Amino acid sequence: MRRVALLLGVVIVLAVFCVPVQGATIQGNVLEARTPHNPLNGDGRVTLSRKSGTEWVYASGTSVDETDTTFAFSGLAAGTYSLFVTADDYVSEYYNNTTLEGERTEITLAAGDTYDAGDIYLRALPIRLVNPTLSSHSVPASGGTVRATVDVVNDTAAEKTVLVRAMLTAMRTAFNATDIHSMHQCGSRTVTVPARSTVSTTISIVIPGSASPDVDYNVRLYLGLDKWRPLSAPLYAGYIAKRR
């Protein structure tokens, strides 16, 4: 009888030690700061870091966008974590509401904890490009001109003079197997935008007849103080196909 009781006690102890430790979770939601707090206009990313001594080490990352605004990091070990949120044409920030690394909010979790960061609001960049359009998506074998039109937004309290450039990425297949990409600057325009206003501008993109046929061009628009000092991420405007 003592042997049975001893065996039962060993089984109970093993069962206690074999119970899996539940991982912790950090979750939240990413929206625009401007009311009515719409989803982001484009792709964003939430990066999770874990504190190791005095250093912060990458732990995980996930995407958010205009259709999926929520994020959740689950199965986390107990420890101290922080969040960094970025998105095209938005001001990157550390949770909670700071651009300074040293002022980030530290999230300390025990095993099984769930931390809800709530709504994280990203501010739009004060100077940015929006609403790109192309007048056409193809040109004939003889070549042609496509006009790229875009709005330049200036939310600052001062007039700004900026440079808008159009860049083409040409894509073709060589020997039916190898993808070849090359970049070309195909036009630019200097634009002066009054304080807290929006100005529309148009850049002509010339595809010459001498350009190789059956090549597709991705068009991206760049915004900067000059050629070397960007103010925002490139904005995809569409594609142009050169046909035979």
pLDDT digits (tens, 9 = 90+) for 142-170: 889 999 999 999 999 999 999 999 999 88
Q: Is residue 12 part of a domain?
A: no
Instruction: Using pLDDT thresholds of 50, 70 and 90, give the confidence band for residue 180.
Output: low
Instruction: Using pLDDT thresholds of 50, 70 and 90, give the confidence band for residue 8.
Output: very low
Q: Give residue-wise pLDDT tens across range 193-243.
A: 999 999 999 999 998 888 777 778 899 999 999 888 888 888 999 999 887
Identify whether residues 195 and 110 lie together within a single domain. Answer: no
Q: At 213, which CATH number?
A: 2.60.40.1710
Q: Give residue-wise pLDDT tens across range 42-60.
A: 889 999 999 999 999 999 9
Identify whether residues 226 and 145 lie together within a single domain. Answer: yes
What is the tally of structural domains in the chain? 2
pLDDT, the chain, mean: 87
Q: Is residue 229 part of a domain?
A: yes
**What is the residue-wise DSSP string for the chain?**
-HHHHHHHHHHHHHHHHHSPPPPEEEEEEEEESSTTTPPPSS-EEEEEEEEETTEEEEEEEEEE-SS--EEEEEEEPSEEEEEEEEETTB--EETTTBS-GGGPPPEEE-TT-EEEEEEEEEPBPSEEEEEEEES-SEE-TTEEEEEEEEEEEE-SSS-EEEEEEEEEEEEEEETTTEEEEEEEEEEEEEEEE-TTEEEEEEEEEEEETTSPSSEEEEEEEEEEEETTEESS--EEEEEEEE--
Identify whether residues 30 and 103 lie together within a single domain. Answer: yes
Give the domain extent around 53: 20-122
